[in-house]
Chain A
Amino acid sequence: MESIAANLLQGFHEVTGYMYPNEYELHWGLLIVLYPYLTGLVAGAFILASLERVFNVKALKPVYRLSLLSALAFLFVAPLPLLAHLGHPERAFEMFLTPIPNRRWRCSASFTPGT
């Protein structure tokens, strides 16, 4: 842990100016970047497959199976980096169970006149 802190601070040695001590650590790193990359892969492969089946692009016939299967395979892998990034992945499902009380629509309501 001491070495992690040392590495982090060393990385910022050349940075001039001030930042809050708690913000030296980069919080949304590679794992978060990996997620849109994987979802992009899924979407791309699926579009490729749909070109053959829906739009009858005969040239893509040989890659139809491969693209559809890779879309399916990566679909299950895509959320894993997000889970791995969490401090407590075992509590991740709580996000779907937690009602966020009024917050989003209260924000929008505050902009509408008369409320």
Chain B
Amino acid sequence: MNQKESQAVNRREFIFACKRALPLAGLLFFPLSATDLILAQENEKYNPTEHNYAMGIDTHKCIGCGRCADACKKENNVPLEPIFFRTWVERYIIAGNGEVSVDSPNGGIDGFPEIKGDKEALRTFFVPKLCNHCANPPCVQVCPVGATFISRDGVVLVDEKYCVGCRYCIQACPYGARYLHPEKKVADKCTFCYHRIVKGLLPACVEVCPTRTRIFGEVGVRSSPLSRFVRFNDITVLKPSLNTSPKVYYAGTDGEVR
């Protein structure tokens, strides 16, 4: 009996001791909660108005492996049919007599077939294509419901919940960068992998490019890799006569590139 009593006291003492130690136990978990807190703060700190995203493409470096187009399809669940692309690679073959032929079999994902025929090829090069995220986009102007818009960080996006699927923007885009998603029945396009860039990651196509053909960065930020690219290369944009002010800058593209 006596022994039992002492045991009960011991147990009570133990519980009280636990109670007193509770704040200390909280300390044990503090480091974890602190990192959570910091992470949360970092997420909150993302301010879209501070960014203006753009891409540089160094066509000298492109080897036409098509990994960018493949990665894009996998990352963004783009339908696998060869008529839906957010990004694709074109091959230009300029013959000796100045004749230009372009091809892009399956967007370059499966590589390119050997150049056939005995025509002498003067120059050949690859040009990766994607949405140019124009600062003055024709697709945004024509949308009847305002579903496509320029985000505050300079990316042209489509709101799937508002798009009526009228395909006006697909007709308006001079770069052929849009398609109607066959399952969602809404217009779909390159988003610069918006879900990735807001976390500070690179777009999927930039991430996988083995030759660093694609350079992702911000306009007007000196520390951005894009500024270096723009400083040390001769920059052109596609179809400048249309006055769309594209934000995909090409280095080393010929006049033949449309």
Which residues of A are at the interface with B, using a C-beta cutoff of 8 A? 1-2, 4-5, 8-9, 17-25, 27-28, 85-89, 91-92, 94-95, 98, 100, 103
Q: What is the chain A residue whose CB lies nearest that of B166?
A: A86
Contact across chains for B146 and A98 when beta carbons are under 8 A apart: yes
CB neighbours of A24 from chain B (8 A): 83
A94 B166 Cβ-Cβ under 8 A: no
Please tell me if the beta carbons of A87 and B180 are within 8 angstroms of each other in the complex.
yes
Which of B83, B84, B179 has the most chain A CB atoms inside 10 A of its CB? B83
Q: Could you tell me if B164 and A1 are in contact, using CB atoms closer than 8 angstroms?
A: no
Q: In the assembled complex, which residues on chain B have CB atoms less than 8 Å from the CB atom of A103?
A: 141
Is B83 touching A88 in the complex (CB atoms < 8 A)?
no
Contact B104 A18 (CB under 8 A): yes
Q: Give every chain A residue within 8 A of B134 (Cβ-Cβ).
A: none
Interface size class on chain B is 35 or more
Whether A22 touches B170, Cβ cut-off 8 Å, given contacts A2-B81, A9-B83, is: yes
Given A1-B79, A9-B83, A22-B176, verify A88-B141 contact (CB < 8 Å).
no
Say which residue of B84, B102, B164, B182 sits within 8 Å of A86 (CB atoms). B164
Q: Which residues of A contact B129 (CB under 8 A)?
A: 20
Interface centre among A20, A27, A87, A88 (most CB of B within 10 A): A20
Q: What chain A residues lie within 8 Å of B144 (beta carbons)?
A: 95, 98, 100
A2 CA to B178 CA, complexed, in Å? 19
Q: Least Cβ distance of A91 to chain B in Å?
A: 5
User: A18-B104, A22-B85, A87-B185 are contacts. A94–B176 as well, Cβ < 8 Å?
Assistant: no
